[in-house]
Structure 1
């Protein structure tokens, strides 16, 4: 999408307050074209630990760049009064929550907590998207100044996993090694992929044995 078209969409749909839904619809069109719309629902990741991997650093830096781009579009398409009100906010997600709920954020807190405490991963489904969604909700709660102990955040994620992850959970608790949510997510994904690989090998072996028995 050309810059001229983006500017025209922004100018024609300036946020003045009552037109929020129309403004948001056009904003999403722009952010989707830039492939950065995800930052509206997900806050910036927490600060990276000193031992962060190159991949974690790359993801973190990209998130910062995408969030800055989204915030720029958001502020540029507001009237002056709303710009002043939101220009010091740290993320696109924080701006979005404030526009939707204003100072009365209790409703949003309740909705996020309800979703977080009831999320469950169904057995057989990939874990990466599930853990990412839970991490995003935790980040949004941080934005609303609801900060839980890190151990509780980890336990909520572990308790949301299906029975097939029991060996992973047992090993994690026995080792008692504190991990960031990003590292925990990576380890859960590795366990899931390893389990899929082993199941595939078992299926191949079972199929091979069945053919052998039929020949006999």
Structure 2
């Protein structure tokens, strides 16, 4: 007969004296695969009476054959120390009752522990809501096997209370709308809600990143403009300022005197401008004197034509 592939379950969960209930559950899984679980529940005598039928004999032979196989599986799934207590038996009938009396945990203790775990379990931040839901469903089924008489509404309330605070809006919506879902449907809805929450959080992060990037760009432009302003202000402050009381033209002359002089376009000599050219200064002086003389003549002419009058309009004298 080929090897049972499920025996690896017992190899990974070998009986060590403290895990009897879990070990027995795994043992029944393996025996169900081979259709040998009935050996643990049905006991037959070691010998059949002479008036037994052919079918009864076949059943008897099959049971004893399977009994030896089950006994070997049970002994092989124990630690060496426990195995030595039962290896003299070739029948599973005296082994299982004895193990149940010594190692089995009463259902009352198991139910208490399972109930405590069920009510105390809380979803961890950034953990999978699907894994959390599967764990809660396992505890619900375990409490059902232990005859824990809890209503479906109680199970749903405990599962909702165990969720992370990020599901608070979902819980409010669920209770206000009076949804009536079974436990598996509730877990599926929670998985979809978690995906929606994560998608919304990612979109918010993208918007915040783009906003901060734009703000950073504006700050860099502001710093560049501020640097230009400061450099311009510094250069303006470092430039010499004309003393107070000087006219605008004199201040302009002071600023222009700081500019290096180039070639004069009148005499083509270096070191001065056209307005400072020595060859043009005499002509400019003559023009200035002529202009001043012309202004004096015009002023005296206007005085000769002045007419003196009283306030009533009577002419007093006329200056010609």
TM bucket normalised to smaller: 0.5 to 0.7
Structure 1 residue 124: Cα displacement: 2.6
Kindly report which structure 2 residues correspond to 1:1-216, keeping only aligned pairs within 5 A, or say none: 4-6=2-4, 25-26=10-11, 72-73=32-33, 76=36, 80=39, 82-84=40-42, 102=104, 104-216=106-218
Output the CA distance in 1 between the equivalents of 2:116 and 2:215. 53
Alpha-carbon separation, structure 1, partners of 2:103 and 2:154: 26
The Cα of 1:191 is off from its aligned counterpart by 1.1
Contact 1:120/1:160, CA 8 A, preserved across alignment: yes
Deviations 1:31-65 (A, max 9, x none): xxxxxxxxx79x9xxxxxxxxxxxxxxxxxxxxxx
The number of equivalent residue pairs is: 152
TM-score, scaled to structure 2 = 0.41
Would the alpha carbon gap of residues 164 and 101 (structure 1) be closer, same or farther in structure 2, given more than 3 Å must change? farther
Query: Is the CA contact 1:112–1:137 (under 8 Å) kept in the aligned structure 2?
Result: yes
Quote the Cα distance in structure 1 between the aligned partners of 2:139 and 2:170.
Answer: 23
Per the alignment, in what secondary structure is the counterpart of residue 126 of structure 2? Answer: coil
Q: 1:145 to 1:154 in 2, by over 3 A?
A: same
Q: Which residue of 2 aligns with 1:53?
A: none
Q: Call closer, same or farther: CA 1:103–1:207 in 2, change over 3 Å.
A: closer
Change (3 A) 1:113 1:25: same
1:5 Cα offset (Å): 3.4
Preserved CA contact (<8 Å) 1:101 1:108: no
**TM-score, normalised relative to structure 1:** 0.59
**SS state at 2:2 partner:** helix
Q: Which runs of 5+ in 2 are unaligned?
A: 15-21, 44-99, 219-320
The structural deviation recorded for 1:115 is 0.4
Structure 1: where are the runs of 5+ without partners?
A: 11-22, 30-39, 44-67, 86-98
Return closer, same or farther for 1:211/1:107 CA change in 2, 3 Å cut-off. Answer: same
Question: Which structure has the bigger radius of gyration?
Answer: 2
Q: Give the secondary structure class of the aligned counterpart of 2:4.
A: helix
